[in-house]
Amino acid sequence: MRLPPGRVTSLSTGQVGLPGAAVPISYDQRLHAGAGDRDGSWMAIAFRLDLDATHDQLAHAWTAVVERHGTLHTAFSNESGKLGLHQVQVVQGEWVDHPPADPSETPRDVLRRVLDAACRPFGAPSHRLCVVVPDPGSGEDHRPVLVIAGDHSHLDMWSLLVLLRDLRTCVADVVAGRAPGADLAPAAPFAAHTHLLEQLDSTPDWVADRWAEVLAAGGGALPTFPLPLGDVSAPRSEVVEVRDVLEPGQLEALEKRAADHGVRLTALAIAEVASATAELSGAPLRAVFPVHSRDDPSWYGSVGWFITNSVIDCTDPSPTGCTAALRESMKLGAHPLAPILGHLDRELAPPGMFALSWLDTRRLPQVPPGLDVQYVSAVTRPDGVMAWFLVSDDGLHLRCRYPDTPEARENVGRWLDAVVERVGGTRVP
């Protein structure tokens, strides 16, 4: 994350009164909050504010945004080992200055400290609005950086863009003397989505059978990275690598060639990943594969954890075979996991678990250019490998997070090299 030298402030918020009505907990929320209260479970988005607004106006606008989205005024509890989620009344507090703890602490360090403390699974609430005001005369862009953050149990990346859009709209309204967000369409609460999933008919037999096959292939657990990672019996410090795979012109040309041959870019890239994986490990590409559950436009403006886990199993590394594997992943991810996996214990996620994600940010809610948007994740201590393909207007990129062991640095590094080389040289057959 890039932040200018400057002053970090945050808008304190809190819960008043007793918790209200209980709301349903999704499968993924239950797993996340069930792992306990901890640092580093948040996600955030940062952007330059292109409107001239005071801190009081920002606070007014943010309060309106929080009120719009049901999940932002809910909080988890854990009474006698029983996980609960209830509506809470969130009240705006004061702006709090966060000076550096010592001369070596940067605004990025300060922000991490603030968000680790505020944006936790059992925070009430577990979100925070922060502002970094650049130092005068620093030579930096003078516009303040706004950071919207929250615990992952209430947010996904799509949600962060919705919050950016809503906050910017509400700030403009407040500055102009209008009611903040009056022209924004109502946003359906995430709890309604969870309730709908709970009401679905029973899971088809083939879905349960396929999940059983995948777990059996992993010895009763989700897929693991196919090369040695060293001792990951306990979480390790993280290594994060970002590789540039395709420039914009290369991406556009490859997409066109793929369309001309009736193959999607995703399938082409995954086919090369599968080939690289098979060459290095002798094993097929098998990974956890997150998919989104915003299956209806009514959820496009909502905030919540609309991501669930599926799996991708590419025994055939051809583009045709990977197209079929991707289709199967989408179908598996369309069915609630609770009836399938909810009776199993938490050991489904073993040390060394391997997850692969494909995210085309061009399909997410769009924001005006020039805001210098940054997607921000917390520093974590992983025991497995997570790789993201990110597609944007500036090309195709690969981001990977893995545990800092000598074996993981060697083997994940070799895998990344092979994947980038193959995907970067992809040609439609």
Question: What's the pLDDT at 64?
Answer: 97
Q: Which residue among 173, 195, 217 closes a domain?
A: 195
Q: Are residues 177 and 237 in the same domain?
A: no
Q: Is residue 428 pLDDT above 70, yes or no?
A: no
User: What does the mean pLDDT of the chain come to?
Assistant: 93
Tell me if 289 is assigned to some domain.
yes
Do residue 273 and residue 365 come from a single domain?
yes
Give me the number of domains the chain comprises.
2
My answer on whether 172 and 228 are in the same domain is: no
Burial class from Cβ neighbours inside 10 Å (0-12, 13-18, 19+) for residue 364 reads middle
Is the pLDDT at 193 greater than 90? The verdict is yes
| pLDDT reported for residue 99 | 96
Question: Does 115 share its domain with 234?
Answer: no
Provide the pLDDT confidence category of residue 410 given band limits of 50, 70 and 90.
Answer: very high
Domain CATH code at residue 332: 3.30.559.30
Q: Are residues 77 and 188 in the same domain?
A: yes
Of 195, 215, 249, the domain-final residue: 195
Whether residue 117 is contained in a domain is answered as yes
Do 159 and 246 sit in the same domain of this protein? no
Residue after which a domain boundary falls, among 170, 195, 220: 195
Is 227 found in the same domain as 81?
A: no
Q: Do 278 and 167 contact (CB within 8 A), yes or no?
A: no
Residue ranges making up the domain that contains 393:
201-424
Indicate whether 429 belongs to any domain.
no
Give domain status of residue 264, yes or no.
yes
Is 1 part of a structural domain of the chain? no
pLDDT given for residue 347 in this prediction: 66
Residue 96 counted as domain residue: yes
**How close are the terminal C-alpha atoms of the chain, in Å?**
39
Residues 108 and 221 in one domain: no
Say how far apart CA 386 and CA 384 lie, in whole Å: 7
As a whole number of angstroms, the distance between CA 318 and CA 334 comes to 24
**251 and 379 share one domain:** yes
The pLDDT tens digits for 361-384 are 999 998 888 999 999 999 899 999
pLDDT winner (highest mean) among 10-19, 32-41, 167-176: 167-176
Query: Per-residue pLDDT tens for 105-149?
Result: 999 999 999 999 999 999 999 999 999 999 987 777 899 999 999
d(CA 58, CA 66): 12
How far apart, in whole angstroms, are the C-alpha atoms of residue 424 and residue 351?
30
Per-residue pLDDT of 17-39, as tens digits, reads 889 999 999 999 999 999 999 99
Give the pLDDT confidence of 325-365 residue by residue, as tens digits: 999 999 999 888 888 887 665 568 899 999 999 999 999 99
Q: Read off the pLDDT band of 254 (50, 70, 90).
A: confident
| pLDDT for residue 409 | 98
Predicted pLDDT at 76: 97
Query: What pLDDT is stored for residue 138 in this prediction?
Result: 72
Same domain, 237 and 221: yes
Q: What is the pLDDT of residue 261?
A: 76
DSSP secondary structure string for all residues of 75-96: EEEEETTEEEEEE-EEEEEEEE
Does residue 158 belong to any structural domain of this protein?
yes
State the pLDDT at residue 345.
57
Please tell me whether residues 162 and 36 are part of one structural domain.
yes
- Residue 41 sits in the same domain as residue 190: yes
